Amino acid sequence: MPKRLKLIIILLTAILEASPASYGRQLLDRVVAVVNDEAITQSELDIILRPLYEEYRRHYEGSELLKAVAEARQRILSQLIEDRLVYQEAKLREVEVEPTRIDQDLEQFKAQFENQEIYEQALQEQGISETELRERLKRQAMIRYLHDSEIRSKIVISPTDLQNYYQKNIAQFSEEPKLKIRSITIKKSFDAREKGIMDEKAVEKIKSLRAQIIKGEDFDALAKANSEDTRAQQGGLSDWIRRGDMIAAIDDVIFKLNPGDVSEMIETPMGYHIFRIEEKQEGFKKTFDQVRDEIKMMIYQEQFRKRFDEWLTELKKKAYISIR
């Protein structure tokens, strides 16, 4: 998503409902959800969806476009409902936010724009003032305060938690060996494949091609001119491959070779093949110390989401929510 679009969406999310005047307009707008005594309107959704829709139109069409927009609409509506619930709870608890905190948040928000002119232009395009933006930033700060006090402050991650996660998800921090190869394939005749016998003509051709490569002739050109597999037009060049991407008879040979090596002829039920190793990356496993911080963040995010969902469920039990 282009940076400009991201900034506009951030702005729209930040200023949505900031203006008291918007409540008067709700009488003329379709209500899509009610959270206790506050309505969420179609126009509020449309404000955020509109730039997303324009972006989606560049990548999707027809039913795929409709599906992507519908999913985005549902995500945005769910987020608006969650924010409304938490904000209402913050008001009930009479959460206070220092003006200096709002000043800091406003400066951080402005920093997302290239300069003051672009920032002011974005506000003007959306028809809101900086005073209205400050009000929304205050609301967000109140929401963050409850997130901190009800969720973040209660998350505890022990060294044992980190070690257990590492051991249970070791494959996540490992990389199998992988290769980029060039290949030439000469297929067996139909009769040879049916009878499971050698195709002497095909064998003779593949061996001749290998001999030419060993003498220094261009593998790329020979593959384009002679190979009978799907990579022929790319000079036999593959993307990165790992064990299991090819059949075992081929894997057993090519993963023992080094860059620049040319394999002996390999026979498969389809035909005869030769390979040259273009690039090779050895497998590795990250140590616990290398991924400690990464694991901590993963566990933190899991616990935050779990605790937040549980807390939000309790808020919803006490609330009136209607989606229309």
- Considering just the CA atoms, what is the radius of gyration of the chain in Å? 31
User: In angstroms, rounded to a whole number, what is the distance separating the alpha carbons of residues 209 and 222?
Assistant: 7
DSSP notation for 147-173? HHHHTGGG----HHHHHHHHHHTGGGG
Of the pLDDT bands very low, low, confident and very high (cuts 50, 70, 90), residue 49 is confident
Q: Phi and psi for 163 in degrees, rounded to 5?
A: -65, -45
Q: Is 246 exposed, middle or buried (0-12, 13-18, 19+ CB in 10 A)?
A: buried
Here the tokens at position 306 are: 């779990």
The pLDDT of residue 22 is above 50: no
Helix-helix angle 288-317:159-168, to 10 degrees: 100
Taking the whole predicted model, whether its pTM rises above 0.75 is answered as: no
Helix-helix angle 116-126:3-15, to 10 degrees: 60
The pLDDT of residue 306 is above 50: yes
Do 52 and 10 contact (CB within 8 A), yes or no?
A: no
Do 275 and 253 contact (CB within 8 A), yes or no?
A: yes
Place of tokens 């020979």: 222
The pLDDT of residue 4 is above 70: no
The pLDDT of residue 53 is 84
User: In angstroms, rounded to a whole number, what is the distance separating the alpha carbons of residues 107 and 103?
Assistant: 6
Of the pLDDT bands very low, low, confident and very high (cuts 50, 70, 90), residue 19 is very low
CB count within 10 Å of CB 165 equals 19
Per residue in 109-167, pLDDT (tens digit) is 888 888 999 988 888 877 778 888 898 899 889 999 999 998 999 999 999 999 999 99
Mean pLDDT of the chain: 87
The helix (run of H) or strand (run of E) holding residue 280 is strand 271-281
The pLDDT of residue 28 is 52
Give the SS3 label for residue 262: strand
The pLDDT of residue 18 is above 50: no
Top-confidence residue, 262 or 174: 262
Q: Is 52 exposed, middle or buried (0-12, 13-18, 19+ CB in 10 A)?
A: buried
Do 178 and 242 contact (CB within 8 A), yes or no?
A: yes
Long-range pairs of 51-59 with CB within 8 A, sequence gap ≥ 24: 51/5, 51/8, 51/9, 51/12, 52/9, 55/1, 55/2, 55/5
